[in-house]
Amino acid sequence: QLQLQESGSGLVKPSQTLSLTCAVSGGSISSGGYSWSWIRQPPGKGLEWIGYIYHSGSTYYNPSLKSRVTISVDRSKNQFSLKLSSVTAADTAVYYCARGPGGYGQGWFDPWGQGTLVTVSS
């Protein structure tokens, strides 16, 4: 059973870089056909897709965050990572990693990690 687990700093100072990692277990991140996404949810608000990376390393970032986002993959550790630079209080959110979308018309996210709260504050 595929499982995802986020880890990283829960408190980041304004203007600094948020860094999170998603460890994948129960399956290989290099298995074909799937991308791996980051999604966030500010407290009490809705879901915002940040972007994805394929096992090949190709990426797509939401234009709303593109200038500040980097998603990378470490196949040897079976994990992928998110970096978000120049953070402000507006970046305070629960950050989720998820598998998807798939490359064969499977445009959904499943499964998801449990999420990790990142607070931006001095």
Partner 1 sequence: DIQMTQSPSSLSASVGDRVTITCQASQDISNYLNWYQQKPGKAPKLLIYDASNLETGVPSRFSGSGSGTDFTFTISSLQPEDIATYYCQQYDNLPLSFGPGTKVDIK
Nearer to partner 1, 107 or 121 (CB): 107
Q: Considering only 13-21, 41-49, 67-75, 79-87, which stretch makes contact with partner 1 by CB under 8 A?
A: 41-49
Residues 71-100 that bind partner 1 (CB under 8 A): 96, 98
Instruction: Determine which residue in the list 53, 109, 118, 120 makes contact with partner 1, applying CB under 8 A.
Output: 109
CB of 70 to partner 1, least distance (A): 16
The 3-state secondary structure of the chain, one letter per residue: CCEEEEEECCEECCCCCEEEEEEEECCCCCCCCEEEEEEEECCCCCCEEEEEEECCCCEEECCCCHHHEEEEEECCCCEEEEEECCCCHHHCEEEEEEEEEECCCCCCCCCECCCEEEEECC
Contact 79, 22 (CB under 8 A): yes
Interface with partner 1, residue 46, by CB under 8 A: yes
CB of 9 to partner 1, least distance (A): 20
CB of 122 to partner 1, least distance (A): 27
Interface with partner 1, residue 43, by CB under 8 A: no
CB of 33 to partner 1, least distance (A): 15
